[in-house]
Amino acid sequence: MRVAVIGGGPGGLYAAALLQRLGPARQITVYERNAPEDTFGFGVVLSDETLGGIEHADPQVYAALRAQFVRWDGIDLVHRGRTLRSTGHGFAALSRRRLLAVLHERCRELGVELRFGAQAPPAAALAATHDLVIAADGAHSATRAAYAEVLRPRIEEHRCRYIWLSAPFALDAFRFEIAETEHGVAQLHGYPYAPDASTVIVELREEVWRRMGLAGLGEEESAERCAKLFAGALDGRPLTGNRSQWTAFRTVVCERWSAGNTVLLGDAAHTAHFSVGSGTKLAVEDALALAACLGEHPSLPEALAAYEAERRPVVASTQRAAQASREWFEELRRHVDQPPYRLAFNLLTRSRRITHGNLRLRDPEFVGAVEAEAGIPPDTPPMFTPLRLRGLTLRNRVVCSPMDMYSAVDGLPGDFHLVHLGARALGGAGLVMTEMVCVSPEGRITPGCTGLWNGEQEAAWRRIADFVHASAPGTALGVQLGHAGRKGSTKPMWEGMDEPLPAGNWPLLAPSPLPYRPGSQTPHALTAVELAGVRGQFAEATRRAARAGFDLLELHCAHGYLLSSFLSPLTNHRTDAYGGGLAARLRFPLEVLDAVRAAWPPERPLTVRISATDWARGGTTADDAVEIARALAAHGADAVDVSTGQVVADERPRYGRSYQTPYAERIRAEAGVPVIAVGAISSWDDVNSLLLAGRTDLCALARPHLYDPHWTLHAAAEQGYTGPAAPWPLPYRAGSRTPPTGRTDAPKPRLTL
């Protein structure tokens, strides 16, 4: 096999070394356009997991690297003259130049041909004369560009400018320092990589970078300005560059990683923001996986397919974490006024890779200080602290999210709803929400949706509320009122979500005559008379909800239903007073909110669910969502339930763990209104983390409550919490301990022979 490697960075070199070691007869050539001693950047951080893979695959390389490592376990946040340290994290770093030297030496020992100062021939030319071409030519990969039609890369440039520099001493921890200037916020990311040297990255928002006069400065002037900005961290010592320049980070995502016998590796295939330290790590892990797959599969196409299948989920997970981390630093100005320990905790948990639970294991003293600052009682997980909204005190921060059951007849909730909602109320959540309850027969999503447009429905809901209050005292029951708008008259989800009914359709209402998707029924635009009628339907349903005994009411202004479709410019094309700019698009939802608030008892809280982004070009943005939340709060909303999307059918969401939470966090910080976070929050550890970091006030969970109606009580048991925020119903108290399983107390081996 003849193999050409384009790019002599760590990933390309390590792939060459592994392939040569596993196949000594292979002819492998590495093309590197720079000289052997040339390198960009300074230090490289590798995880224990990556090092374990290197040790297993090539003990000689591992031994050479291990001898060079600088190790530390602390992370410092320096802000407003105060340093807070968290320990127990475990890092290993070394000079990038030394890493390359180790890999150069290993490649030469094994017989790899290294061609330095040599521009690689075009990938297509190499592919014609080699069995395999590995493109490890970095984030600006020419190979990726040449095969763009096949690989279909997406490249997104981000908001901050940053520069890589070096300090002539070793920091004793991973250091994050915040500098607040008259021009805006700047941050330093620093870590040691040698006994006498540290990497220092300075990062700023683009507009701050320009206001500070850094645009256009050369390497030396930039280093001097950064050294002055962070003089305290450097103790007056200088910063130096290495062909350093200000740049904006670019995220690279490719739909495919190979084209014929050419395969991408490392930054050529994917990038992850430097704040999670994953570039070299991912490239080395790519090399390990590629070498293994080539040995495990009989043909090159099978091997390349297996390589991509193995690595893509890992890379996607890392990119999601990197996105969360990058966005946190991009919005640093939003966090700087948090209390010191909360800010530090927020920083540490920004990527969702570190959570309340594992941070408590790493550094219980630090977590204890965060909780004490937040006023959380000892031995109380954050999720089991109370929250007051108007006259209602929720005993914990868990919400059983609204979930459409599509199991009603003529809008009437029956025994199914009693059991469904009653079980979840007995399960310990502080607030249990109904599904969207429709204000009129025409406002239903499906024929199976519940309603509150007549007295029979009101009595049925009162039966459920009475059961919850009698059998699960302390649990609040909330009702979500809504109107389906253009998304109505469809089949139940399990028969074909958003598909029109085969027969018996009813006419649809919307701000504009736009079908939800091709094949959907076209609604007609609401007239002034119909607008008044819908307002009245919401007000009358609210009065019924109050008489039925609900503790909290939520107005559904999300997910493309009627009120949501007024808010989005993609679904509201009106030219009257209810369309146009955001203030006009808000007019009708606010009129409905005013009518609902007037009909709802003043001591009972009212929340509003919104879609904080449409996930579509030209739709509602995060900036809009903040303004919407401000307006809702000004009209009497006590909290905003922050969801996203489902407004237009051609949306492109970025799914991931707690992926909607950043929108809630921003609204909480900028609009100053309590928020409910929702969306792929699945563990009690996530709930504790989000609450303690100050990203939300309540966490709403849907699918976990379908899987386990007693999710909250089980979360209490698993954390050893037995306090008043999660009381077990008396008939269930015998089950409050985790059931025993098989024996785990067998004697441990005492000797290793």
Residues taking part in catalysis: 561
Give the residue from 211, 282, 207 showing the smallest Cα distance to 252. Answer: 282
Q: In b/e form, how buried is each residue of 572-581, taking b as 16+ CB within 10 angstroms? A: bebeeebbee
What are 340's two structure tokens? 């010191």
In angstroms, the CA 637 to CA 597 distance is 8
CA 464 from centroid of its chain's CA atoms: 36
- Tell me which residue of 652, 661, 724 sits closest to 687, measured CA to CA: 661
Q: Return the sign of the alpha-carbon dihedral for residues 183, 185, 191, 195.
A: positive
Q: What phi and psi values does residue 198 have, to the nearest 5 degrees?
A: -135, 145
Torsion sign, CA atoms 234, 238, 243, 245: positive
Give the angle subtended at the CA of 364 by the CAs of 361 and 365, to the nearest 5°. 160
Rounded Cα distance between 377 and 97, Å, is: 50
Helix (H, G, I), strand (E, B) or coil at 401: coil
**209: helix, coil or strand?**
helix
> Cα separation of 189 and 77, whole Å?
10
Is residue 586 within a helix (H) or strand (E), and if so which, with residue range?
A: helix 582-599
DSSP assignment, residue 630?
H
Residue 641's DSSP bridge partners are 609, 676
Return the amino acid letter for 415. Answer: D
Nearest to residue 281, comparing CAs of 294, 266, 302, 301?
A: 266
- Given the DSSP bridges, would you call strands 675-678 and 698-701 parallel, antiparallel or unpaired? parallel
Dist. CA 282–CA 414, nearest whole Å:
53
What end-to-end distance do the CA atoms of the chain give, in Å?
43
CB 14 within 8 A of CB 20: no
Q: How far apart are CA 253 and CA 427, in angstroms?
A: 42
Residue 221 CA to residue 241 CA, distance in Å, equals 10
Half-sphere exposure of 171 (CA within 13 A, CB side): 30
The neighbouring-strand residues paired with 93 are: 45, 70
Taking CA atoms, 457 is separated from 150, 440, 535, in Å, by: 57, 11, 19
Q: What is the dihedral of CA 675, 680, 683, 686, to 10 degrees?
A: -50
Point out which residues pair with 437 in neighbouring strands.
Answer: 481
Contact 340, 79 (CB under 8 A): yes
Cβ within 8 Å of residue 174, ≥6 positions away: 72, 74, 75, 76, 89, 91, 190, 191
Distance CA 505, CA 154 (A): 41
Where does residue 428 fall: left (phi above 0), alpha (psi -120 to 50 degrees), or beta otherwise?
left
